[in-house]
Amino acid sequence: MDKNTLVGFLLIIAMFIGFYWYTKPTSDQMDKRKAYSDSIYQSQVKNIQEGGLTQAKDTTATTDTVASKVADTYGAFASFSTGEENFVVLENEKIKVKLTTKGGRIYSVELKEYKTHDQKPLILFDGKDSKTNFTFITANNRIVNSDELYFKPIKANKGNLIMRLALENGKYIDFEYVLPDNDYMVHFDIQTKGMEDILSKSSNVLDMEWNVNLKQQEKGKKFENRYAGLYYKFVEDDAIEELKKDGDDTKDIANRLQWIACKDQFFSSILIADDYFYSATLKSKMGQEGSSYLKDCHSTMSVNFDPKGEIKTGFRYYFGANKYKIFKLYDKGIKDKDKLHLDKLIPLGWGIFGWVNKILVIPVFNFLEKFISNYGIVILLMTIFIKLILLPLTFKSYMSTAKMKVLRPQIDEINAKIPAEKAMERQQATMNLYKKVGVSPMGGCLPMLLQMPILFAMFTFFPASIELRQQSFLWAKDLSTFDAIISWDRYIPIISTYYGNHVSLFCLLMTVTNIIYTKINSDATAGSSQQMPGMKVVMYLMPLMFLVFFNEYSSGLSYYYFISTLFTIFQTYLFRAFVNEKKLLLQLNENKKKPLKKSKFADKLEKMQKQQLEMQKQQRNRK
């Protein structure tokens, strides 16, 4: 084949490919065609079962074809492939659960104790926002999906409902739902009878699919999205895992799972297996910009199943608030040795911060709320309680600062004697002074570090505390979200992206008090700030960063930091009133006369320095 022939042949192939690509239908067109074909098919199936097709000669062949296709697709379940969708409601004092006969599944869930941020009924999911499907394999290897079948509801009593696929000769598949009084848990069992000849005997598992689209329930969607996502827990592990929150994510999991949760900031839909899930694929997809959805949580997994019906396949659904003391009530699994650890869905902080919340913050908060209905007062009293606990550490930190302040004239003398070019000599002279008078430059840091776990614990506690949700205090209508006194709709570059389209007053007050406190500290440590001029800028920059960072956060958190800083300022002036700086300076000067006590570490360090100096002298002498 010569070159021209080869080129021509390739051009012809390219033309065919281009023509195919140009003329092939788009995905939207394909979906429309499929929907049109499905609608015709379903209409024909319905007419077959209702006897609505005419007996005309030209339609007999079509009727027989459709009937044959239905029988071939669904087998023994063909009679359940069409029907009318009806709804049945189970409800108690806590939740209202609507079930649909199509698929025999939970259609929607309303939490009766709560409202959305705009005071509408709080619906966790509704209709197309969720999906539950089980895949059955028949004896002749047909695949039948439960969400394509129409069940018959059998309501046994107030809190019990059976969705049944009843075949001939007393054979059936039951989806049984039980909602106890005053409970957030819905018990769900799959039970069969006489189905061992209809379902595949070799199939001892069910593939299932569970999807939930998380709706926006709070005022600040951007902030709510930080807490929304798909979580899961392994059977063998106490810790919980999650898909990433800031984008789409997928995970294939081979290990056994105990539960899967679709969670937003304050509420969760949790599917718990009585036994376990395995071979799971979990997907999380971000909601589209401008939509009312946070994330789409999609789960496919397998569960154990007995076609003979001797053993039920059991689950529990939790539909409710992310509340610590409620989760602890449901901590025990089906087996006594198992623990669900649902409380770990509440982001209380890792490590020591989580323990501070569980041991100190939550018990104090729950104790105060028993006697006080106003949560602004509860936060105030809790702040006073925490400040009293930290008082010894705060005083120690203040005393360290006060000692540095009274030594400032002596430090200024050192700086005057030693030029700025000899920064190392200045530093050594200053450290020698501190050493003689018995002052540690780090003495104020350790008490501050010991206070950090409580500060960080509060940072995680308030945004996750559902008790503050829609609780008003002063101008803040909802302590769980920002308290906007000024807001606007127009997008302002940089400002709207990083600060938001509102001004939170408690956040503003917190920033002002932090600037005041920074000024007080800056005046007290002016000597050290002269040696490190950049530190002063950093000290004032931090409150301004808080202004941007906390503007979207819970107003309850900003309120706590605001009054906590106010108390710290008050304590500072109180300490100043009781601490005599002249006597303190005399005491420090007296310490100069005392012999220095070396620690073991300092002694070893000094010996090592002497050895190094001796070795250097020996090396110089050899030269």
Tens digit of each residue's pLDDT (9 = 90 or more) over 108-147: 999 999 999 989 999 999 988 899 999 998 888 888 999 9
Distance CA 244, CA 568 (A): 38
Class of domain 87-346: mainly beta
The pLDDT value recorded for residue 108 is 95
pLDDT bucket at 494, cuts 50 / 70 / 90: confident
Question: What phi and psi, each to the nearest 5 degrees, are found at residue 563?
Answer: -75, -30
The pLDDT value recorded for residue 19 is 44
Question: What phi and psi, each to the nearest 5 degrees, are found at residue 250?
Answer: -140, 140
Asked if residue 599 has pLDDT above 60, the reply is no
Q: Which amino acid is at 528?
A: S
**Average confidence (pLDDT) over 550-561:** 91
List beta partners, residue 285: 296
Which stretch of 76-90, 461-475, 603-617 has the lowest confidence by average pLDDT?
603-617
pLDDT tens string 566-590: 998 998 888 888 888 778 778 777 7
The pLDDT value recorded for residue 138 is 87
Asked if residue 168 has pLDDT above 50, the reply is yes
**Average confidence (pLDDT) over 19-48:** 48
pLDDT above 90 coverage of the chain, percent: 38
For the whole model, what pTM was predicted?
Answer: 0.77
- Nearest residue to 253 (alpha-carbon basis) of 278, 284, 285, 283: 278
Asked if residue 258 has pLDDT above 80, the reply is yes
Highest mean pLDDT among 14-18, 389-393, 552-556: 552-556
Residue ranges of the domains in the chain? 3-67, 87-346, 353-579
The pLDDT value recorded for residue 606 is 54
Query: What is the Cα 542 distance to its own chain's centre?
Result: 26
The pLDDT value recorded for residue 525 is 61
List beta partners, residue 162: 154, 176
- Nearest residue to 107 (alpha-carbon basis) of 275, 319, 387: 319
DSSP per residue, 290-305? TSSEEEEEEEEEEEE-
Which stretch of 208-212, 351-355, 513-517, 539-543 has the lowest confidence by average pLDDT?
539-543
pLDDT tens string 178-236: 999 999 999 999 999 988 888 888 778 899 999 999 999 998 888 888 899 999 999 98
**Average confidence (pLDDT) over 417-427:** 75
**Average confidence (pLDDT) over 93-97:** 94
Asked if residue 51 has pLDDT above 50, the reply is no
The pLDDT value recorded for residue 587 is 78
Distance CA 469, CA 479 (A): 6
The pLDDT value recorded for residue 55 is 44
Distance CA 203, CA 598 (A): 77
Burial of 401 (0-12, 13-18, 19+ CB in 10 A): middle
E strand residue ranges, 435-583: 484-487, 502-504
**Average confidence (pLDDT) over 416-440:** 75
Cβ atoms within 10 A of the Cβ of 245, count? 16
Asked if residue 354 has pLDDT above 90, the reply is no
- Nearest residue to 151 (alpha-carbon basis) of 115, 127, 130, 176: 176
Please state, in angstroms and as integers, the Cα–Cα distance from residue 130 to each residue in 200, 206, 297, following that order.
28, 19, 9
Exposure pattern of 437-451 as b/e (b: 16+ CB <10 Å)?
Answer: bbbeeebbeebeeeb
Highest mean pLDDT among 16-20, 311-315, 417-421, 521-525: 311-315
**Average confidence (pLDDT) over 276-282:** 93
Residues 6+ apart with CB under 8 A from 528: 404, 441, 535
Question: What phi and psi, each to the nearest 5 degrees, are found at residue 279?
Answer: 50, 50
More confident residue, 588 or 29: 588
Q: Which token pair is 90?
A: 């189970």
pLDDT bucket at 407, cuts 50 / 70 / 90: confident
Confirm if 545 and 510 have CB atoms less than 8 A apart: no
Maximum C-alpha span of the chain: 123
- Nearest residue to 94 (alpha-carbon basis) of 154, 163, 159: 159
Mean pLDDT score across all residues of the chain: 81
Name residue, tokens 């021209």.
4
**Average confidence (pLDDT) over 349-358:** 87
Distance CA 240, CA 350 (A): 12
